[in-house]
Amino acid sequence: MGQRVIIANDHGAIELKQQIATHLESKGFEVENIGVDTTDSVDYPDIAEKACKIFLAGDYAFGIVCCGTGIGISIAANKVDGIRCALPQNIFAATMAKEHNNANFIAFGGRIEYGDDVLKMVDAFIDTEFEGGRHADRVNKIMGLQD
């Protein structure tokens, strides 16, 4: 069995979440979907909190959260101690989210028209290793802001 990934969404990103989950499964990941699959309104802060707490308590490679824009759910995720959630707008940003910031979550918006394909952004994130070095010092400073 492959690495475990957590994915969560609100009502604004059902189709996008399903596309990403299917893509991850095709790459051999075990995907735990804790998002919603209906258009009934839910609050993205609740979804983010649940996803992040499950992630932190389990053995997951990374998490993905989605809402209408990706903005609200990423802000909410970043309020949970131990989470570094990036909101990449293109492949370069998805790469840098891992390489320089060692993000453990990425976020996307189901109502956003991206210039780069979201699945290619996901792949860039997955395929990139954290560079460490001076970036590790910076990540430690970021995490120190939570204290």
Q: What own/partner pairs with CB < 8 Å and gap ≥ 24 does 126-133 have? A: 126/27, 126/62, 128/94, 128/95, 128/98, 128/99, 129/98, 129/99, 130/98, 130/99, 130/102, 131/99, 131/100
Bridge partners (DSSP) of residue 105 are 63, 85
Token digits of residue 59: 């053995």
Residues designated catalytic: 100
Candidates 120, 123, 125, 64; CA nearest to 94 is 125
